[in-house]
Structures are given as C-alpha cells and as structure tokens.
Chains A and B, each alone.
Chain A
Amino acid sequence: MRHQRRHVFALTSVVTTAALLLTACGGSGDAGDGGEGDGAGGQGEQIELSIGTFGEFGYEELYAEYEAAHPNIKIVPHQTGQGGPYHQALFTKLGAGSGLDDVMAVEEGHLSDVLAKSSRFNDLSEIGPESVSPDRWLDWKYEAGRDKDGKLVGYGTDIGPLAMCYRKDLFEAAGLPSDPEGVKPLFETWDSYFEAGDRFVQASDGVAWYDSGAQIFNAMHNQLETGFFDREDNLVVETNTKIKENWDKVTAAGERGQSAGLVAFSNEWNSGFKSSAFATKTCPAWMLGVIEEQAGTEHAGKWAVTDAFPGGGGNWGGSYLTVPTQSEHPEEAAEFAAWLTEPEQQIKAFKAKGVFPSQVEALESPDLLSATNEYFDGINDGALFAEQARKVSHAQYKGPGDGKIQENASSPALQAVEQGKSPEEGWRQFVDAAKQIAR
C-alpha cells in the first residue's frame, strides 16, 4: 500500500495544484452487489457511460468488473492528470452546457463552487438507487455533498482526516516529549499547540514550529461552526469574530518565530522537508506520502504521526462523484457512481492506491485497520486515520467562492504577513480580497 501511495504522490509533488491532485482518489470495486437488482440500465439497450476523474483514481480494473456485471453498459473513462485544469474544464463545460461526462469527480476544494451551481447537477437522492442511504458515509462527508436546500449533489469517495506529524529528533533535542503518546497533550488545543511552539522555538536554533501560517489557519478555520459564509451566503468574514481570533493567534505565533514562512507545495516548501526547516506538520492521511517523498530516506524514522489534532479533528481533501444534468443517462450514471462509492469498492481503491475511504463500513475493514507505514516507524496508520476521521464533528457550510477565498484571500494575506506586512494590514488585505471574490 505504501508503495502505491508513494506513486500517487510522486506525481503531485512536482506539479502545481498539488493539493487537488493529492486527494484525487476514487472508489471502485467489484460487481459484488449485483444482487440488488437495481437494473436501471434496462437489459438489452446498449449504452455508454463516461466518467471523468483526475489524478490517480485507480478505477481501471473496476470498470471492467462493472461492465462484466452489466453487459449492456460500456464504461468510457476520461482521466486528467492534474486537478487544476480538470476543474477549470469542468466549470467551462458546465457553462457551455455540453461536454461533461456522465459521472464527474469533484474535489472537496471545488465543491462549494459546484454546490453554488447545483441546478446543473442531478439530485442523487432522487435518481440514485434507493439502496443508497446516508449512513453509508460519515455524517460530515455526506452532509458536505448536499447543497443548502438539501439536494444531494455528490456521493463521497475518499477523505483526508487530519492528524499531527512531527519530528521526533527535533522534539527530543528541544526537550519536548517525543513519543506518540507523550506528545498528545501538546496537540490538544490550539493554545497548547502554540505554547509548545514557543518552548520549541526557544530551545532550538532557527528551526520553525510549523511550515506556514496559512496551513495552520486553514485547519483552525475548518473547525469553526461558521466559516466565511453563513447559510444565507452572506460573507461574514468581518462579523464572525472567531475568524479574527484565529487570525490573531496565527500571526502572533508567526511573529514569535514559529512559522517557517514556506508556501505549501512550493519548491521551497519541498526543500524545507529536506533541510529540516520546521518540526510539525498538519497531516491528512495522504500527507504521509508527501513527507516521505520530500524528506527522503535520510530522514526515515525521524518523522512520526500521532492520533491527536489541536481542537479535535479535521479534514483536508477527498472527492465526490456527481452526475451533471447534461448526462443523457442520469439514472444509469447515478447507479454506477453509487456502486463505485460502496464500502467494498472503496476498500479495493484503498488497497490499490492508498485512497482513504469515507464510508463507515470501510473504516472498520480489516484491510484498512491492519495497514502500516514503515517510514513512520511502522505505525498502524490505517487505524490511526480511521480514528481521526470519526473525530470530525461537523461539515462547515461552504458558500460560493469559499475555496477561492482560502486560496486567494486568506493564504496570500498570511503569506504577506510572513513577508513583513503587519498583521493588521494583512487582515485588511484578506478582508478586501474576500469581499472582491464574494462580490
């Protein structure tokens, strides 16, 4: 499993939009559930179903399986390498009114834009097989796939539950506890996290506590009850005082030398792993592969991961399968998507490509629970992240443009503060940019 994961992530470390690509993981599976008898395809009539994915979904073998179980259906896969261009094409074709595949994968970061255009997607709770029930998925994963009127736009595929990764050797050198149990108190709340950061920075020579303020801010932000928008899609960046509180905490920690100021997925960030520029990293399941790739063999055994995350839990990444209204065979497409996102298929995808499943049953699968990671001291990472996935309390409502605000307003503004702007100036820049995007 580890090997295949590496393979997936090797790609991503090179390219832009790596975050999107990394989480590109799709469910797939065998024809095991043919017994449900939901023959929406109608025997006899030959139809083609196309499916659009990006990055590495590892579906190839499962298409054949589905075709074998449904002789009248031919699957036509369209795979794009990078998530960025894939989603741009998705929105362009959505605007053009044609050209989309029957089943379209959508990454979490672009989901808010898709939900804002939910009229162009089928309600899967209506056209999908009746056997699909909400409790197939973790609550928050299922909820995030619905628009604000409750329409189910996407079936969840995979997730990126957050844990904390840290450098054991650097922790030891700084006099902090370093075993996975001992560090848990440090990662209990954000306050304890920043406090430990102060201790660490004082005790170590020039090593930062975390990679960049934006990475911390995003994780803190996603734990809030209300995000950038309220349910009526009003921008509440200025009125939601929790956002400003997070901002102040992160920028203050940065001013105390806790941030390495490295923009995530940049070349410099990659180099930061090699040159030990920071000691902790917010760690979704797929990040382990990135760390191994970037830190390299010379740091094997120095990184560790623990099943704790400041402020509870969190999620970063994961995808959904949607059926656009453009599709000529919406019911067959929905049935196909429902099949791909069954726990059985997701486990197969996990075994094939290390995609972390979002299905409750899949999280209890022995295949998942017994998975280990050699680079991280042989830790039982499958079980660890399954535990972290259950700690996510709710799905924060994401308004239209939510992902863009994170990418083009809060992250650049935090970067500007790390490059010398004052936190107040940075906050103004953030608010102005957010307003412009929400306009």
Chain B
Amino acid sequence: MSTDLDAGRAERTTSESPAPTGEAGAPSRWRRRLSRWDVRFSPYLYVAPFFVIFGIAGLFPLLYTVWVSLFDWDLIDDNPSFIGLENYVELMGDAQFWKTLVNTVSIFVLSSGPQIVMAVLLAALLNTRLRLPTGWRVGVLMPYVASLVAIGIIFANLFGPNFGLVNGLLEVVGLDRVDWQADRFSSHVAIAIMVNWRWTGYNALIVLAAMQAIPQEVNEAAVVDGAGALRRFFHVTLPMLRPTLIFVVITSTIGGLQIFTEPKLFDAMPGSNNGGATNQFQTITLYMYQSAFEREDLGYASAIAWVLFLVIIVVALINFLLTRRIATTGEAKR
C-alpha cells in the first residue's frame, strides 16, 4: 500500500517538475532530492502529530508519575523530599492496598467473565434472522449510551439494603434480604452487575461484527459435513472469532481493573472514596484517587498507579495467552 502512495506522489511531483524556465541543472537536482525526501519522510511527518501529542499528554505524565512516586509529595508541598522506593515498600506492607487489589480482581472476574460469555451468546442471537435487526442491535447498545453516573446512582438505589427494589423483590420471592452494602462478596456482585449491564451490549456488537465477517461458505461446508448448530458454533464460529475475542478480552481487562465510578457511587456515604465502611468494595483506582486527592499524598498515589499498571499488563498477558489457547482448537486442525 505504501508503494502505491509513493508512486502516486512521485508521479505528481515529476509532472510538476518540468519548470517553465526550462533551465535544467542545480534547481532540478535540488527538486529531485526534495521529492525523494518527501517520499521517504513525509509519512512520518503525517503520523507525527499523534505521537507528539501522545508524548505530551500520555508519555510525559506516565514517566513523571515514576518520578513523583519516588518522593514524599504532599499535594500542597513546595519541597517534596526524595525517599527512593519507600512508597513502594510501604505499599507492599499496606493491608488496605492488598484488600483493594483483591476487591478489584474479584469485581473484574465477576464482571469480565460473564460479560464476554453473554456478549458472545447475545451476538449469536443477534446474528440469527430477526425482525427489525437494527432495532435489536441498537437496543443492546442502549445501556452503553446511558450516562455512567446516572447508572451508578440508579443501581445504588436498586441495591439499597433497606429500601432497595432488589431486596424487595427477593423478599416477594421468599428469599432472604441481602445487605448489598455491608457484605463484601454481595457488594462485588452488585457492582459487577452494574458493569455488565453497561458493557455486555457493547461487546456483543463488536463480536457480532466479527461473526458477520465469517464467510458463509465455511458454515455451509460444515452443514454439508453434517455438523449441527452447536458444533458449528463451537468449532467454526468461535475459532474464527479469535482475534476479536482477544481484543474484547484485553480491553475489558484494562477497563475491568480500572473500575472507579461504580464503586464510588455505590457507597452509601455521598462523595465518599472509602468503598464501604470497611473498604469492602474499594478498588485500586478508588484507593489511588483517595490517596492523591483526599489524603493528598501524591507520591504514594503515583506508586499505586504504577503497581496497577504492572498488574494490568500481567493480567492482560495471562488473558491473552488463555484466549489464544482456547481459540486455537480450530487453528490446530488446519
């Protein structure tokens, strides 16, 4: 593709190059050199704005965070003192940090897992012959369009321990009320439901797009070979969704480990960053935010940010490998 572009540009420049003056020599050689540079360097120039802006708005803060994490840096501090890796050492011994890490992973597993399974199933359903297909597809995307804060407030209401609708329904059905706030696992479930409600449809549409890109012939060949619908789904459709599934898994890993708004709004105490009375549903990002802007300990918060970054990379890698293994069953046969 790049050669095409180059050829086009070369053509254009040469067509312009016969100067009206007609005098060959130094200027035309200069021009030729310019056009060669143009061909060679322009593409980099064209992509440069992204990288320049990324460098300023992305890379610099990233590296600066490393720098800050080496200091005892109060939010209002003229002379932060250098303390080396002390923030990290302290972090490793911080019970609250480990608690928030477990919370985060727990909420992540409870959300991402069911979410992707449901998204694939939903996509398979949407891929069948339906009346008003666009209506259904837009329908599953609706939760994603709704404002996150509104969702958070509404769900926090639904899961209210005393006057919430969910507990009311549980009671009608004859089950025990659940203290969605106080109980650690229940609060994770409630938050995961919030996350799933918002993201399942979004992921389903991505998977659906990939499903529709699967050539009809492959399926037809499987039908000819006598494969049933289930077998076709597991042995034809799923393996061919592999690249998309990897994408969905990695983005939901990144999102899932950074859950912030849902637990913040779920807290009964308005505006609180505690994630419940005993931090039972405080996530790492919430703890990081609390450290930075409530305890005003920027150094410590930066250290949390970096540890979180590493955790995300590790989990994303594990997920990547797992997904590849799961989806290679079809590949291996080739």
Which A residues are closer than 8 A to B by beta carbons?
Answer: 15-18, 84, 88, 91-92, 94-95, 117, 120, 262-269, 271-272, 275, 277, 404, 407-408, 411-413, 415-416, 419-421, 429, 436-437
Which B residues are closer than 8 A to A by beta carbons?
Answer: 75-77, 156-157, 160-164, 179, 181-182, 268-274, 276-278, 293-296
CB neighbours (8 Å) of B296 from chain A are 91
**A271 pairs with B75, CB closer than 8 A:** no
Picked from B76, B164, B179, the residue with its CB within 8 Å of the CB of A419 is: B179
**B77 pairs with A412, CB closer than 8 A:** no
Picked from B269, B273, B295, the residue with its CB within 8 Å of the CB of A266 is: B269
A83 CA to B225 CA in the complex, in Å?
68
List 9 tightest A-B contacts by C-beta distance, closest first.
Answer: A16-B271, A419-B182, A16-B270, A415-B277, A95-B76, A416-B277, A263-B268, A266-B268, A271-B163
Q: How far is the CB of B134 from chain A (nearest CB, A)?
A: 36
CB neighbours (8 Å) of A16 from chain B are 270-271
New contact pairs (14) apart from A415-B277, A416-B182, CB-CB < 8 Å: A16-B271, A17-B271, A18-B270, A95-B77, A120-B76, A263-B268, A407-B269, A407-B272, A412-B278, A415-B268, A416-B277, A416-B278, A419-B278, A436-B295
**A420 pairs with B182, CB closer than 8 A:** yes
CB neighbours (8 Å) of B156 from chain A are 267
A200 CA to B17 CA in the complex, in Å?
99
A275 CA to B278 CA in the complex, in Å?
27
Task: List the A residue with the shortest CB-CB distance to B297.
Answer: A439
CB neighbours (8 Å) of A407 from chain B are 269, 272
20 interchain pairs (CB within 8 A)? Answer: A88-B293, A92-B293, A94-B76, A262-B162, A263-B269, A265-B269, A267-B157, A267-B160, A268-B164, A271-B160, A272-B162, A272-B163, A404-B295, A408-B274, A411-B269, A412-B272, A412-B278, A415-B269, A419-B182, A436-B295
Task: List the B residue with the shortest CB-CB distance to A18.
Answer: B270
A16 CA to B264 CA in the complex, in Å?
11
Most B Cβ at <10 Å: residue of A17, A120, A263: A263
**B76 pairs with A117, CB closer than 8 A:** yes
**B295 pairs with A437, CB closer than 8 A:** yes
A421 CA to B270 CA in the complex, in Å?
22
Task: List the B residue with the shortest CB-CB distance to A417.
Answer: B277
Task: List the A residue with the shortest CB-CB distance to B269.
Answer: A263
Q: How far is the CB of B77 from chain A (nearest CB, A)?
A: 7
Q: How far is the CB of A284 from chain B (nearest CB, A)?
A: 17
Task: List the B residue with the shortest CB-CB distance to A82.
Answer: B271
What total count of A-B pairs have CB within 8 Å? Answer: 79
Tell me what chain B mostly uses at the interface: helix, strand, loop, or mixed.
loop
Q: How far is the CB of A434 from chain B (nearest CB, A)?
A: 12
**A265 pairs with B270, CB closer than 8 A:** yes
Most B Cβ at <10 Å: residue of A17, A267, A269: A267
Task: List the A residue with the shortest CB-CB distance to B290.
Answer: A408
CB neighbours (8 Å) of B295 from chain A are 404, 436-437
Q: How far is the CB of B153 from chain A (nearest CB, A)?
A: 8
A161 CA to B159 CA in the complex, in Å?
35
A429 CA to B181 CA in the complex, in Å?
18
A17 CA to B269 CA in the complex, in Å?
9
**B269 pairs with A268, CB closer than 8 A:** no
**A429 pairs with B162, CB closer than 8 A:** no
**A412 pairs with B76, CB closer than 8 A:** no
Task: List the A residue with the shortest CB-CB distance to B298.
Answer: A95
A100 CA to B203 CA in the complex, in Å?
44
Picked from A269, A413, A437, the residue with its CB within 8 Å of the CB of B277 is: A413
**CB contact under 8 A between A419 and B271, given known A91-B75, A267-B157, A268-B162:** no
CB neighbours (8 Å) of A415 from chain B are 268-269, 277
A415 CA to B267 CA in the complex, in Å?
12
**A17 pairs with B278, CB closer than 8 A:** no
Task: List the A residue with the shortest CB-CB distance to B264.
Answer: A16
**A404 pairs with B294, CB closer than 8 A:** yes
A407 CA to B270 CA in the complex, in Å?
11
A120 CA to B163 CA in the complex, in Å?
46
CB neighbours (8 Å) of A120 from chain B are 76
CB neighbours (8 Å) of A436 from chain B are 295
CB neighbours (8 Å) of A264 from chain B are 269
Q: How far is the CB of A30 from chain B (nearest CB, A)?
A: 36
CB neighbours (8 Å) of B274 from chain A are 408, 412
